[in-house]
Every structure is written in C-alpha cells, then in structure tokens.
Chain A
Amino acid sequence: MDSKTRKAALARDAGVLRIRKTTRLIGACAVAGGVVMAAGFAHLLPTHLPQVNVGQESGDGGTGGSSSNGSSGLQGPNTAPGGGSGSSQVTSGGS
C-alpha cells in the first residue's frame, strides 16, 4: 500500500470514528432530553382517571351515609311517591 492510499484509509477511518462519536452523542442527548421532558411534564400524565363505580361498592367511608358516591347509580326509590292531598309541608320546584 502506497503512502497515498494509506493516508486515504486513515482519513476514512478517522471520518468513520467521528461519525460514530457524533451518533452516540446525539443518542445520549436524545435520551437525556427525553428524561428531562418526562420529568417536566409528568404532572400532566393522568395518575388516576375519574373513577365511577357503577354497580360496585366504592368503599367510601366518608362523612354521612348517602349512597351518592356508592354503588347506587341512578336507582329508583325504595318506595315510589304516593298520591297526596291537603296542604303540603315542603315544595320541590325549580330554584
């Protein structure tokens, strides 16, 4: 191999090495950027989607005993309203 060819081969190898280093640097930067982005926007990721326990017990042991947050869904009353007469005690109307 003459000196001209050897120089060309060395230049080629040096170029390949530079490209390899640059590729690795870009990859590392991409990974680091992804980590930074994930950390910065983590609070926007849903950790707990709105939970509606239709047909299940919610296990809610909060104040009061309403079934509003429990399993009832839109359940009918235990006893349907009956016909009434006479003066009323309370009014249900728009507000």
Chain B
Amino acid sequence: MSAPSAAAARAELAAFGGTAVVLTAGPGALDEALAVVREHVAAMDQACSRFRPDSELSRVNAAAGRPVVVGELFARALETALRAAELTAGDVDPTCGAALVAAGYDRDFEQLRQAGVRVTVNGPRPGPGWRTVRWDAANRRVTVPRGTLLDFGATAKALAADLAAHDAHARTGGGVLVGFSGDISACGEPPEGGWRVRVTDDHRAGDDRPGQTVTLVDGGLATSSTVVRRWAAGSAQFHHIIDPRSGRPAASTWRTVSVAAADCVAANTAATAAIVRGEAAPGWLAALGLPARLVRPDGSVVAVAAWPADHEAGGAS
C-alpha cells in the first residue's frame, strides 16, 4: 500500500437534481475523474430517470404489461433495486412509483417545491411488490404489470456513485470519492487521515449546521432524510420515502439516518430501510454490523455498531 497523499482536489457539478462532489487524493487526477463521473451521470440519467420521457425507465413504465428489452445499465439498476428489496424484506421496493405519483411527486422535484405550484394528491397506492416484476436476465427483458410504475430513487444514484468511483479510481490509479447528493462512494487510497465527511440533514448544508464530521477510508456512506425532499398539498406535508406497505410517506420516527457500508448501494439501501422500519431500525442495523447514525425529530442521536462517538458540543444533530 502506497503512502497516502496529503492533498486532495475537489470539484462540484450538478447531478440527479442535486449537487455532486468529486474528490481525488491527488490534484492531478481531478480532471480525468471528473470526466468519468460526468459519463456515469449522463448514462444513469438516460437509463433511470423517472422524469425524462426518453429514458429507459419511462419506456418500461409505459409498456403496461408488455415485455421490454433493456440495456446493460438499466439491467444492472433493476437487479440492484430488486436485490435491495429482497435484502430489506420489501422495505425498499422499486414498485413504489405510482405511490410517489399519488402523493404528488409527479415531476422533477425542483419544480415541485416552487412556491405556488399546484400539487395533485390522490389516495395512497401501496406498491404491488417487487416480486410482481418479471425479469428475464438472460435476455435482459423486463415485464412490469400494468399500472405499476418502477422508481429507482433509493438505489440508482448510489449505484452510479459506486460505478463512477470505481471507474475513476481505475482510470486515475489514485484515491477517488464521489458524492451524489449525499450518496458517497470512496475507492482507492484516501488522503492522509481519510476523507472528511459531514453527516447532516441536508447534503447542501455547510459545516455550521448541526451534524457530525467523520472520516471515511473506503466503501459507501449514505444518508436518507425525511426533512429535505418535502412538499405540501394544502395543509398536508409529504416526503419522498414511501412505506411500500401503506403507500404513504413513512412515519417520521427518524428524520435522518446515515449508514456506512461496503459500498454506497448497501449504505443507501440500509439508510432508506431504516427510515421505513422506524423503532426497529437500530436493532436491525446492529445485527447487520452496519455503523449508523440515526437522528430523531427532536435532534437526539442514536449511534449503532462502530459509528464514532460525537464529540461536538451537545452531540446534537
């Protein structure tokens, strides 16, 4: 193992409706890493955006029960989403697209949270369940039941982070960290002392906001929150993490959950499932050995597994 570099280079770009950050352990690798990340962002957006009419996801959702042959990246995103559903016993389910639409999340979120926008909310639509998706892996052919809308919101961005970080590391040979709106994947030798990551409610927040700074060496770190992607319809408030069984936004036992895992997909899958699981989440995460930080609506923090102690004043989130 080579000696870790002390300097790191940083770049930001807009991606997936949020801010993406690319860090390289060596400053000379940043441009190349950035190019790799841009390629992955464009490819994943083309494959899996729910709001692009020309995306593969839109084509699959419009097929209304007919089989559709999909590309390699979409296939990988679908398999990742189905796997997340199985590993979480259905807490993270890709068949919740119609539930999101029924809750009013039927357009790009930047449009949804504009003042004065008219939001149409219908009754809850529980997800039909990931087992209703028929996937012929050999022929890359997917069949989604009529009326079911797939949504890869819980896994596609994290998968893109993992793929981009790995490819950027392979291309540059140095340590790379890729963060897509808070879904972070690190690959290769980090700077001395590790990557310094702030965990907090909003990925756009600065260090002055309540939270905790940790160091990450490799793997994934992801945060799911019910306080950022929110919208209102009349007096009712909604957020984007759907409980598949009820078709409604999950109860707010936790306002924010951060999880570290072997990769970003696992981290984000666990963080989203923890929001859905509510009070059972700390025990579930501990049993899996996933270091996690769970924040209650009042700001109190529960640390799980090997999550580091919070030495900031008050320890508040």
- A-chain residues with CB within 8 Å of residue B226 when the two chains form the complex: 94
Q: Is A40 located at the chain interface by the 8 A CB criterion?
A: no
Q: Is B248 located at the chain interface by the 8 A CB criterion?
A: no
Cβ < 8 Å to A, chain B residues 170-186: 170, 177, 179, 181-185
Q: Is A54 located at the chain interface by the 8 A CB criterion?
A: yes
Interface string of A39-52 (1 = CB under 8 A from B): 00001101111111
**In the complex, A49 Cα to B215 Cα: how many Å?**
40
A63 touches B163 (CB 8 A): yes
- A-chain residues with CB within 8 Å of residue B143 when the two chains form the complex: 43-44
B225 touches A74 (CB 8 A): no
B216 touches A81 (CB 8 A): yes
Q: Of A51, A62, A74, which contacts B76 at CB under 8 A? A: A62
Binds A, one of B15-23, B49-57, B96-104, B113-121: B15-23
Q: Of B133, B218, B227, which contacts A78 at CB under 8 A? A: B218
Cβ < 8 Å to A, chain B residues 181-212: 181-185, 194-207, 211-212
**In the complex, A75 Cα to B305 Cα: how many Å?**
13
A78 touches B199 (CB 8 A): no
B221 touches A81 (CB 8 A): yes
Min distance, Cβ B306 to any Cβ of chain A, angstroms: 4
- B-chain residues with CB within 8 Å of residue A48 when the two chains form the complex: 134-138
Residue of B nearest to A91 (CB): B198
**In the complex, A95 Cα to B219 Cα: how many Å?**
20
Cβ < 8 Å to A, chain B residues 89-140: 130-131, 133-138
**In the complex, A81 Cα to B266 Cα: how many Å?**
15
Main secondary structure, interface of B, reads mixed
- A-chain residues with CB within 8 Å of residue B61 when the two chains form the complex: none
Q: Is A68 located at the chain interface by the 8 A CB criterion?
A: yes
A90 touches B163 (CB 8 A): no
Q: Of A43, A51, A54, A79, which contacts B87 at CB under 8 A? A: A54
- B-chain residues with CB within 8 Å of residue A62 when the two chains form the complex: 72, 76
Q: Is B58 located at the chain interface by the 8 A CB criterion?
A: no
A64 touches B218 (CB 8 A): no
B135 touches A92 (CB 8 A): no
Min distance, Cβ B177 to any Cβ of chain A, angstroms: 6
- A-chain residues with CB within 8 Å of residue B163 when the two chains form the complex: 63-64, 66
Q: Is A85 located at the chain interface by the 8 A CB criterion?
A: yes
Counting chain B residues whose Cβ lies within 8 A of the other chain, the interface size class is 35 or more
A76 touches B305 (CB 8 A): yes
Contact (A72, B263) CB under 8 Å given A43-B67, A48-B138, A92-B182: yes
Contact (A75, B261) CB under 8 Å given A91-B200, A91-B204, A92-B197: yes
A72 touches B262 (CB 8 A): yes
- A-chain residues with CB within 8 Å of residue B265 when the two chains form the complex: 66, 68
- A-chain residues with CB within 8 Å of residue B296 when the two chains form the complex: none
Residue of A nearest to B132 (CB): A50
A81 touches B179 (CB 8 A): no
A81 touches B291 (CB 8 A): yes
Q: Is B297 located at the chain interface by the 8 A CB criterion?
A: no
Residue of B nearest to A95 (CB): B181
Interface string of B277-300 (1 = CB under 8 A from A): 000000000001111000000000
Q: Of A63, A68, A75, which contacts B73 at CB under 8 A? A: A63
Residue of B nearest to A43 (CB): B67
12 cross-chain CB contacts under 8 A: A54-B86, A73-B266, A77-B261, A80-B306, A81-B307, A84-B194, A85-B311, A89-B23, A91-B199, A92-B179, A93-B211, A95-B182
